Chains A and B, each alone.
Chain A
Amino acid sequence: MIRLILLALLALAGAPLQAAPTDLLLVAPDDATLAPVLKKLADARSESRAAWTYWFGQLHGKSVVLTRTEGDPLNAVAATTLAVRRHQPKLIVVFGTARAHDPALRAHDVVVSEKFVAFDGLVSPPTRLGGGSDSLTWKKLPHLLMTAGEREAAAPFFPASATALAVARTLSPERGRVIIGALGSANQVNREADRIAWLHAQWGTSCEDGESAHVAGVGKLLDTPVIGFRVIDGAPEEAAKFALKFVEAWK
C-alpha cells in the first residue's frame, strides 16, 4: 500500500524526479558521431525533452545514456544538465573531432583531456572610432562558475577525471597518436593563423571544438567527473570508435 502511495506521489511530482544512476553519459555533437555507438547499444530506447534527445541502453555491460549537443555550447550545456540531473552518471564522456591549435598535432591524433578550456571570453581595450578591431590585443576573460554560498569562482580551466585519463591514455587509436592536452571550446571556427597561435599561447589550448569545455563546466558545477577525446581533423566515426574502446576499458 505504501509503495502504491509513493508511486502515485512520484507520478504526480513528475519531471524533476531523478531516475536510477547511470554508469556513463556519452556526449557527442551530431548523428554521424553518435551512429556507430548507437549501433552497438543493447536494449536501446530513447526519449526527448524540449530540444534534446537521450538514448539509453547497455554497452559492454555498462548502463549508458547518450545525448547530442548539436556542436554548440548552449545545446551542450542544456542537454548535459538535464542528463546529469535525471540520470546521475558516474562519468561524462564528451567526444568528437576538433581543429588543432597546437602545431605539433597531426591529423588523426586523438587529444585526451588533461583539462578543458572555454576560450570564448574576451575583454577588448578601449579604442576610439576608426581605431579598428584587433583580436590579438584582447585580454582573456575566464568563466566564473557558481559555487555553494552564492559565490562565483574564476575558472580559467575545468578539470578532467584523472582516473578516466589513466584509462584513456592506454588506448590505441586506429590512426594517429594519443596526445594528452587541453581541449578548448567555443562556438567559433577560427581559421586565422595568427589568432590560432594567440589562442594556443594565451589559453594553452591544444585544439578547438564547439562544446567540450562547456560540458566540462557543467560537470564542475554539478559535481560530476568528465573526460574528453577529440580526433584532430578526423572523421566522426574515428571519434566514436575511440569512445567505444574507452567504454570497454573503463571499470
Chain B
Amino acid sequence: MKHRLIFFFAVVFGVFARATEPTDILVQGAEKLEIAEILTALGPKPERIEIGPFSFWRGKIGAQRVVVSLTGQSLINCTVATVIGIEEFSPRLIVNQGTSGAQVPYLALHDVIIGARALDYGNFASPPRGAGEGTRPLLWTPVPQRLRSPVSGELVAHPDGFRGDAEAIAVALRTRNGMGRVFTGTLGSAHEINLELDRVRWSAKTFGMEVEEMESGHVAAIAHAYGVRYVAFRVVSDAPYEGVPFFPLAARATALFTVNFLHNFPALPAPAKP
C-alpha cells in the first residue's frame, strides 16, 4: 500500500509538473540532424523528458518557452508523437520542420519552403485494370484526408490540406535563411521517395506541391483536429530535376532557420481563461 501511494504521488506530481509548466511552441523534427541546432539553442543542459519511445526537450529560445520533439519519420511516428506532444504539453503553436525533395525545377539545395499549406498526397483509388494490363499511377484518383468535425459530427474532406498559421508565415517570411532562399509553398507528405520525373510533375500539378516529405501534412491534420496553431518549414535536401541526391546535412539549414524564426516570433499572449 505504501509503495502504491508513493507511485501514485509520483504519477500525480510528474504529470502535474508537465501540464502546469506552460509551453508556447512545440518544435518538431523527424531526425536527430533536424533538431541538433535547435537543441543547441536551448542551452547546455535542456531538460529531457521521455514518454514511451519519444524524447522531448524543454527550455527557452528567445522569448519562447519551447519543447523540442524528435518525432521519427513518417505518418505513424509523427502522428503518435504529435498526439502525445499536444496532450502532454498543450502547445499554442506547433512548428514542424525538416528536409524535403523538390517537386519543381526552380528550387535548389538549401532553399527553405514555408508551408502555406500542407497535405497528404499518398492516398488514392486506382481504376480497375485486368491482369497483364499493367499499372498507370498517373491515372490514380487522389483521396483527400478527412477529419470529423467536433461541431457537426460530420466527416469533412480536406482536399487542399491544412493552411499554415498566417502570423507565423508572416514572421517566417521576414526570417533569414543563411544558406539559401525562402519561398512560401505547398508541402506534400507521404511515405514515398519519388524520383520518376513524370510522377513528380504530376504531383506538383495535381496538388500544387513544391516539395515532398513525410510528416508536415499529417502533423497539420492533427493540429487542425485539436485547434492548435501550426506552421511547417522544409529545406530542399534533394532535387530530382537537377539530379541532386539526398544531402542529409541540409537539415542544418532548416534548423537554423527555425531558431531564427523563434527569436523573431513575438511572445504569445496568455491564453484566455475559460
- For A39-80 the 0/1 string (1 means CB < 8 A from B) is 000000000101111000000000000000010111101100
Q: How far is the CA of A135 from the CA of B199 in the complex (A)?
A: 10
Interface residues on B, range: 35 or more
Additional A-B contacts beyond A73-B75, A78-B83, A133-B199 (17; CB < 8 A): A16-B18, A16-B87, A51-B148, A51-B225, A74-B79, A120-B192, A124-B196, A131-B198, A133-B138, A145-B76, A152-B72, A152-B73, A187-B122, A189-B126, A193-B131, A214-B75, A218-B76
**CB nearest neighbor in A for B147:** A51
Stretch of A6-14, A175-183, A236-244 contacting B (4+ beta carbons < 8 Å): A6-14
Which of A's residues lie within 8 Å of B, judged by CB?
6, 9-10, 12-17, 48, 50-53, 70, 72-75, 77-78, 81-82, 85, 118, 120-136, 141, 143-148, 150, 152, 186-195, 197-198, 214, 217-218, 221-223
Q: How far is the CA of A152 from the CA of B80 in the complex (A)?
A: 14
Query: Closest 6 interchain pairs by CB?
Result: A146-B72, A187-B123, A189-B125, A51-B225, A133-B199, A127-B196
A132 & B196 in contact (Cβ 8 Å cutoff): yes
Stretch of B50-58, B178-186, B259-267 contacting A (4+ beta carbons < 8 Å): B50-58
Known: A144-B74, A146-B53, A214-B76. A50 touches B197 (CB 8 A): no
Interface residues of B in 22-47 (CB under 8 A from A): 32
Shortest CB distance B217–A (Å): 9
Shortest CB distance B136–A (Å): 7
Q: How far is the CA of A190 from the CA of B149 in the complex (A)?
A: 28
B15 & A13 in contact (Cβ 8 Å cutoff): yes
B195 & A72 in contact (Cβ 8 Å cutoff): no
Known: A144-B74, A150-B32, A152-B77. A120 touches B190 (CB 8 A): yes
B195 & A127 in contact (Cβ 8 Å cutoff): yes
B191 & A77 in contact (Cβ 8 Å cutoff): no
A150 & B135 in contact (Cβ 8 Å cutoff): no
Residues on B with beta carbons closer than 8 Å to the beta carbon of A130: 198
Listed residue (B53, B74, B134, B149) with the most chain A CB atoms within 10 angstroms of its CB? B53
**CB nearest neighbor in B for A53:** B148
Is there a chain A Cβ closer than 8 Å to B193's Cβ? yes
Is there a chain A Cβ closer than 8 Å to B207's Cβ? no
Q: How far is the CA of A188 from the CA of B142 in the complex (A)?
A: 9
Residues on B with beta carbons closer than 8 Å to the beta carbon of A74: 75, 79, 120, 145, 218, 221-222
A70 & B76 in contact (Cβ 8 Å cutoff): no
Residues on A with beta carbons closer than 8 Å to the beta carbon of B247: none
B79 & A197 in contact (Cβ 8 Å cutoff): no
Give the residue of B8, B13, B80, B133 whose beta carbon is less than 8 angstroms from that of A218.
B80
Is there a chain A Cβ closer than 8 Å to B159's Cβ? no
Shortest CB distance B156–A (Å): 9
Residues on A with beta carbons closer than 8 Å to the beta carbon of B11: 17
Q: How far is the CA of A12 from the CA of B50 in the complex (A)?
A: 22
B129 & A17 in contact (Cβ 8 Å cutoff): no
Residues on A with beta carbons closer than 8 Å to the beta carbon of B13: 9
Give the residue of B76, B79, B194 whose beta carbon is less than 8 angstroms from that of A124.
B194
Residues on A with beta carbons closer than 8 Å to the beta carbon of B75: 73-74, 77, 120, 214
Residues on B with beta carbons closer than 8 Å to the beta carbon of A188: 123-126, 143
Known: A51-B147, A82-B87, A194-B129. A134 touches B80 (CB 8 A): no
Q: How far is the CA of A70 from the CA of B226 in the complex (A)?
A: 17
Is there a chain A Cβ closer than 8 Å to B201's Cβ? yes
Is there a chain A Cβ closer than 8 Å to B108's Cβ? no
Give the residue of B15, B135, B150 whose beta carbon is less than 8 angstroms from that of A136.
B135
B74 & A16 in contact (Cβ 8 Å cutoff): no
Known: A129-B201, A191-B127. A136 touches B134 (CB 8 A): yes
Q: How far is the CA of A135 from the CA of B129 in the complex (A)?
A: 13
Is there a chain A Cβ closer than 8 Å to B70's Cβ? yes
B198 & A81 in contact (Cβ 8 Å cutoff): no
A121 & B191 in contact (Cβ 8 Å cutoff): yes
Q: How far is the CA of A197 from the CA of B13 in the complex (A)?
A: 54
Known: A13-B15, A120-B122, A143-B191. A192 touches B135 (CB 8 A): yes
A118 & B76 in contact (Cβ 8 Å cutoff): yes
Shortest CB distance A145–B (Å): 7
Is there a chain A Cβ closer than 8 Å to B240's Cβ? yes
Residues on A with beta carbons closer than 8 Å to the beta carbon of B195: 123-127
B134 & A221 in contact (Cβ 8 Å cutoff): no
A145 & B135 in contact (Cβ 8 Å cutoff): no
A135 & B135 in contact (Cβ 8 Å cutoff): yes
Is there a chain A Cβ closer than 8 Å to B166's Cβ? no
Is there a chain A Cβ closer than 8 Å to B269's Cβ? no
**CB nearest neighbor in A for B53:** A146
Residues on A with beta carbons closer than 8 Å to the beta carbon of B240: 126
